Structure 1
Amino acid sequence: MSSVFSSKFSPLLFRLSEKMSSQVRLRLLPRARCLFDEPIKVKVEGLRSRQVVTMRARLTDDKGVVFSSSATYRANGSGEVDLNRDPSLGGSYVGVEPMGLLWSMRAEKSHKKFQKATSLKMLAEETNERLLMGDGVSRVPVKEGNISGVLFTPPGEGLFPAVLDILTFRSETRASLLASKGFVVLGIGLVQGKFESFEHYPRFHLDHFKEAIDFLKQQPKVIGIIGRSKAADLALSLATFVPGVNATVCINGCSANVGVPLYYKKQQILSPLVYDLSKLIPTESGASIGKYIFEDPLAEKNKGSLVPIEQAKAHFLFVAGEDDLNYDSKTYMDQMVERLKRHGKENFECVSYRGAGHLLEPPYEPFCPSCAHGISHYIASWGGQPEAHAAAEVHLWKKIQEFFRTHLSSDAAQTKAKIITSG
């Protein structure tokens, strides 16, 4: 595991609750050690024919918050349970869900997002070491000028394609896993320095983030950017105003510059899209829906906040969760696609996911319905249906890697626009 945590890996332990038997064996295939974003096959052998058992997963993150899940299975005539084949009869999920014990885990405290993993078992025990940082990947803190972040570099010689990962939450998961796939990745926080939160920023300076791009240019010559939420519209602005960006992934982002004025070279280049926190919609859980706090980006008075992405030379991958309760992400994505088409541009792909919420992460993290907002002071309801959201993360993670490999190669060909809807 990356050094976001105290060790390189996090042990995931499974419980199989019934009276202990030496004949029962819990197996993790193809091996007990894998990267965090890789699926595993869970099998149980040595049970009685048609025996009903409950499997449990339990993790404790780096803040001591406990996450857990459970599912009940019936063994086949040979006394075997195979999560790739057999349906859960009840518990945290039902039906055939091979990785359900992972993504269905919920925090025992309300509004908590997973940060670290761990788990146990009773009938049989096996440890799955889920690595956030692959063998040979280096992690180097970077503090240079206005840059404060962490650089992950794959093993081996040569020039690797580079990605700037702009974070709304303090997490190295996405950056370290992308580096394990062969990218040089610099992870930097959206909000850092003396300001406590996004609301305290009088303005954003694109120049500070350009420094990060210039830093990456010391490595390879092709640069990609990835960001979600507010970090996504900042990524769009970098691709539009700063030369040298080849590919940009915008996950559940807005078509406009949200919240605060954006400056570049000592001049304001975009006005802010205003939001009103009094329009937050409280829910019974204590979390609030923020989807409707923003003004309409297409309103005449907000035209100065729209990012002129048609000026960008980069390729775009727009991503929207259709059940996002934090942003009206699907509408914003449609606005950006329409804008590019109107200007005769075909340098984009887009994918939307029915049932997916705002926090689209690398796959197999516990599903997070609500937690403290990454850059504002309230508990946010993120939206998403657990099964659909988990499936979207698996598909999107592969899509992001494919997109970057295509457009961060030195001889990347021009591609036609593609629109994908995934259920």
Structure 2
Amino acid sequence: MVGTFPLLSVQPTRGLVDEKIQVVVRNLPPALSVTLHSLHRSEDKDLWEAFGHYTSDGQGTVTVAKDASLGGTYEGAEPMGLLWSMQPVPGSRTGLRLRKMDVLTPMVVHISVYSGHITEGFSKQSPLATVVTERWYMAPGVCRIDIREHGVRGTLFLPPGPGPFPGVLDMWGGGGGLVEYRSGLLASHGFVSMALEYLSHDKNRTSDINFKTYFEKAFRIVQEHPMVMKDRVALFGLSLGTSVTLNLAAYSKDISPRCCVCISGSHVNLVNKAIGKVFRNMKKDGYKTRFDEEGRVVCRDIFLPIPTDLGEKVDMGRIKCPLMLVVGEDDQNWATVESAKDMTQMMHAAGNEHLLTILQYPDAGHLIEPPYTPHFRASNFIMPQTRQKLIMLWGGYTKPHAVAQEDCWEKILSFLRQHLYPSPDSTPTLRQSCDVTPKEHQGLSMID
């Protein structure tokens, strides 16, 4: 390496989290063994890394998009392997999960190139070159608005531009709290999206929430916003959010979603008049939970067998709008495969199966998130009501799970555009590369 100066390029240096990066190393000696390494410090101050082993070509270049990694946290030609294969550095706390809670700041990733094929001790070695890249959930011009209205708690994200735009009510699952990053990303793609808090870590508040009125109020907050096309609002649910979505679509007389997206959930009717009953209903079947050989909790059997009694599951024949289901075949948290099969049979019998689209992914797990999010087969989980800490087995395997996340996100966006925008020509083109300074990217935060 004497006399040479490796040139490391990462493009774009600022972009959305679902935008691919191009990583290229030039000016290396031919046939040199190098390691490309990514490093991220999470908001909880934990370090995450990924790395791949490469050999430079005859021109002294490594191009991650087309050259194969020979080993590391991923193998083969994987343009985004330095992100989706991230894992906690050796010696980290157990059960970690990487999630971005402050969407007004980027995920900062240091990408470095090292001489030789190394697998550990990166902090003790000097890289040949390092580049910093920022990954954003909010595109330039997206506005973030805190919602505290009619007892509803959430965060509304508005795309840049005059609108009007389609709307999305975005609901996460049984972990509770307010999760904003998917809504920020949806707004970056031209949808007004509200991340809704409905399972609070405040036990008393959650118990007081009435299922019907709370979610219908939230839907109307989105629908009645002046930047929203009132007849083009979708429901988007993950895990327990799927149960909420299907209940609203089937039984609400006051709201009419234009379409629904459901990830890793079931039509088994967990949601009754009061949200506080959800965990009591699950606790009733708690004897069905089991532990794997490592002591991690497997919950999928709670939902089995799928009920035959229509009173114990959503009547799928009542669904009147297009519905997309996303299913990971190795989901160890919910019985999503069996549920999807039963939902298909119910809709076929009712004559509305034409409304159903199913995306089913072998060896994908429960936590199907936006693209390039690292995979977590298991992680710490705190029950919102009891505050009990568990290690939850979510399922899935790293590479196929990463494939599922990337594939389904593109199909979800296409599905939403197809059913929410009046015509393809009316879909806004938002610049995806966030080539702005952090100060320009702060968006809007205010209390309603």
Q: 1:285 to 1:73 in 2, by over 3 A?
A: farther
Q: 1:188 to 1:261 in 2, by over 3 A?
A: same
Does the CA contact (< 8 Å) of 1:25 and 1:125 recur in 2? no
Q: Secondary structure at the match of 2:202?
A: coil
Q: Which runs of 5+ in 1 are unaligned?
A: 1-18, 413-423
**What is the aligned counterpart of 2:43 among 62, 68, 81?**
62
Q: Secondary structure at the match of 2:302?
A: coil
Structure 2 residue 10 is the aligned partner of structure 1 residue 28: yes
Shift in Å, 1:298? 2.1
Name the counterpart of 2:289: 280
**What is the aligned counterpart of 1:254 among 266, 273, 276?**
266
**What is the aligned counterpart of 2:132 among 117, 127, 130?**
127
Distance in 2 (CA, whole Å) between partners of 1:145 and 1:154 is: 24
Shift in Å, 1:72? 1.1
Does the CA contact (< 8 Å) of 1:152 and 1:176 recur in 2? yes
TM-score (norm. length: structure 1): 0.84
Structure 2 residue 246 is the aligned partner of structure 1 residue 236: yes
Amino acid at match of 1:119: V
Q: Which has the higher helix share?
A: 2
Does the CA contact (< 8 Å) of 2:68 and 2:76 recur in 1? yes
RCO higher in structure (CA 8 A, sep ≥6): 2
Deviations 1:317-373 (A, max 9, x none): 011001111112111111111111100112121110111110000001121121233
Does the CA contact (< 8 Å) of 1:318 and 1:350 recur in 2? yes
Name the counterpart of 1:355: 363
Shift in Å, 1:218? 0.8
Show the 5 A alignment for 1:269-308. 276-300=285-309, 303-308=310-315
**What is the aligned counterpart of 2:406 among 394, 416, 422?**
394
Deviations 1:242-262 (A, max 9, x none): 23211111111112122x533
Shift in Å, 1:135? 0.7
Q: Which runs of 5+ in 2 are unaligned?
A: 101-106, 113-126, 425-448
Structure 2 residue 129 is the aligned partner of structure 1 residue 118: no
Q: What is the number of equivalent residue pairs in this alignment?
A: 383
Distance in 1 (CA, whole Å) between partners of 2:284 and 2:8 is: 51
Higher deviation after alignment, 135-144 or 370-379: 370-379
Q: Secondary structure at the match of 2:237?
A: strand
Distance in 2 (CA, whole Å) between partners of 1:411 and 1:100 is: 36
Distance in 1 (CA, whole Å) between partners of 2:197 and 2:363 is: 28
Higher deviation after alignment, 369-378 or 244-253: 369-378
CA RMSD of aligned residues (A): 2.5
Distance in 1 (CA, whole Å) between partners of 2:391 and 2:233 is: 34
Q: Percent of pairs identical after alignment?
A: 31
Amino acid at match of 2:272: P
Distance in 1 (CA, whole Å) between partners of 2:332 and 2:413 is: 26
Shift in Å, 1:411? 6.8
Shift in Å, 1:195? 1.3
Amino acid at match of 2:224: Q
Distance in 2 (CA, whole Å) between partners of 1:282 and 1:196 is: 30
Q: Secondary structure at the match of 1:165?
A: strand
Q: 1:275 to 1:384 in 2, by over 3 A?
A: farther
Q: Secondary structure at the match of 1:67?
A: strand
Structure 2 residue 24 is the aligned partner of structure 1 residue 43: yes
Does the CA contact (< 8 Å) of 1:20 and 1:123 recur in 2? no
TM-score (norm. length: structure 2): 0.80
Distance in 2 (CA, whole Å) between partners of 1:285 and 1:83 is: 35
Shift in Å, 1:208? 0.4
Q: 1:162 to 1:202 in 2, by over 3 A?
A: closer
**What is the aligned counterpart of 1:182 among 165, 187, 190?**
190
Shift in Å, 1:102? 0.6
Distance in 1 (CA, whole Å) between partners of 2:322 and 2:360 is: 17
Does the CA contact (< 8 Å) of 2:290 and 2:299 recur in 1? yes
